[in-house]
Structure 1
């Protein structure tokens, strides 16, 4: 099993989760983080650290976010590993909870 970063991370990109990850499974894109499912050890430390509740266990991913299993797997192979916490974008709070952000994902 793995954890999955879902749509609410887009344009929020908080990295609190990265700081607690013991295996460096987070990868950073231009406006979102993803988890490499091959590296995730299912430790669950990241989920409560996400201030916008964008991380779920793969078994608990909401039905309307299921496509993010594939997004994480694909982009986790392409994007570089992020192993240190960074400041979020200045407007991150404004994007929390905004629906239909998948079209804003920058690859």
Structure 2
């Protein structure tokens, strides 16, 4: 690992959350430990998924992890599953559970 700083690229999203301030020394140590394990997997392109229930802190953890990996000199693309959903402005046009278009928007 090097000490040079690389780029963190973020995908275009309908909603962006800033990287949170460190919550505690223990959390910072945990994020660093996870980042070190990821970096130990090699220099090639790696994909990391973060899963969990709503409001569990996935986005914050992802931001913190991306920053830690970036500090090690690796470029990071920070994407969110929200980037792959239909836009919020179209929420009334489809069933939010199934993703199917509502009958009023289905072409004849």
Q: TM-score range by the shorter chain?
A: under 0.3
Larger radius of gyration: 2
Higher helix fraction (1 or 2)? 2
TM-score (norm 1): 0.27
